[in-house]
Amino acid sequence: MITIGQLAGYVGVSTKTIRVYHDKGLLPEPDRDASGYRRYGARDAIELIKIRTLAEAGVPLARIRDLRSASDDEFREALGKIDEQLTERIRGLRATKRRLRRLATGSLAPLPEEVLAHLEHLAGLGFTSRWVELQRDLWILVFAAHPDVAIELVHDQAESLTQPALRQLFLEYDQAHDLDADDPRVDDLARRIAEATRERYGSDDLPGPEAASEIPALVQGTVNASSPAWQRIDTLLRARLNA
């Protein structure tokens, strides 16, 4: 018979781990000697090795007790399910690593890779860094509130930018940020945007969340607050589209 310290040393675990296994009912409590100390035999060491093997394989302690009494088929089925769970955890950890890498570069935007690529593409098309940063922040809001339709809106914007005429309107809108609100170019730009919007969507509702959502108003309010010229364009555009 051996002590708990000797058992721990032979099997390669700590005495604390053995006590945890006792508390959880994984390893039966052994008999004690006249001094009240636990004394272990070969069978205890064998059982402990089996428990350690399962634990090191990633089997949760809560499952080990059931697996020790399972049939061969039940054992294989249970291990298969645990393997699937571990695979899913690995995917999650890899996604976390990708997010950490983005954070290490200074990016706090919790956005899909596809959207981040779209934002990088905007800079290559000639949009100002101010516009790209504003777009990033607004997409964060839209994805948080309406993840079900957000990616469709990104696709719609990306498709618009593939058309030279529409892309030019977006670029002019970006550049209009620094214009005075009463500059004639603001009125002309609003007129052309309204015409392009009617041509693209006709009489259909514009893409976006359901009418009850407050997010579109929050987004437009943020844009309008950035520039008096943008605010006037929004006012003129609404008037033309609702006429």
pLDDT, residue 108, reads: 53
Sign of the alpha-carbon dihedral angle for 112, 118, 119, 121: positive
pLDDT, residue 84, reads: 85
Residue 211, pLDDT > 70, answer no
The torsion angle over the Cα atoms of residues 50, 52, 56 and 57, rounded to 10 degrees, is: 20
pLDDT, residue 149, reads: 86
Tell me the pLDDT tens digit for each residue of 48-80.
Answer: 888 888 888 878 888 888 777 777 788 788 888
| Total count of residues recorded for the chain | 243
